[in-house]
Structure 1
Amino acid sequence: MSTSDADETGPDLVLDCRDLRCPMPVIELAKHVGDVEVGATVAVLAHDPAARVDIPAWCRMRGHEALGEAVGPDGVPAHRVRRLH
């Protein structure tokens, strides 16, 4: 699956972390990234501005691919991650 495929079909899993503050969006991602197959994508919906930095940093440390930020439902930032292992 390429990045464009993920953009066209949407994420395989959406984590609604809108009301959670740092570090909870990253903790939820860490808990649930294994719920999807390798190559699948996860979107973390989070209002917390720290998620913009924390999620890509977590991906670098854990060997997953940060696909960037998109606008999710209701204008909520959706931080997209591809599981690589």
Structure 2
Amino acid sequence: MRCPWPVLRLARAMRGEEAVTILADDPAAPAEIAALAASQGWSLRDQGDGWVVSRA
């Protein structure tokens, strides 16, 4: 999926979860995911093939 879809899906998934794993291959995704996580106060951990986002 192209951005902004990964970020939109991440935001929706985090509404009801404490942590989610997101996979995205769009080159813009890492920056967009990091920006969303920072703005929401979520922690972000790179897993190599994706990211784990959790509430801090």
Identity among equivalent positions (%) equals: 36
Larger Rg: 1
Q: Write the deviation string for residues 36-74 of structure 1: whole angstroms up to 9, x where unpaired.
A: 13xxx211111111111111111111111112x213xxx
Please show how residues 54-69 of structure 1 align to structure 2 within 5 Å.
54-67=32-45, 69=46
Aligned length: 56
Q: Structure 2 length as normaliser, TM-score?
A: 0.83
Q: Which residue identity is paired with 1:70?
A: Q
Q: Partner letter of residue 39 of structure 2?
A: M
Which of 2, 5, 11 is residue 30 of structure 1 equivalent to? 11
How many Å separate the matches in 2 of 1:80 and 1:48? 17
Q: What is the CA RMSD across the aligned residues, in angstroms?
A: 1.3
Q: Return the alpha-carbon distance in structure 1 between the equivalents of residues 27 and 55 of structure 2.
A: 22
Match runs of 1:1-85 below 5 Å: 20-37=1-18, 41-67=19-45, 69-71=46-48, 77-84=49-56
Which consecutive unaligned segments of at least 5 residues does structure 1 have? 1-19, 72-76
* Letter paired with 1:28: R
Bigger relative CO (Cα 8 Å, ≥ 6 apart)? 2
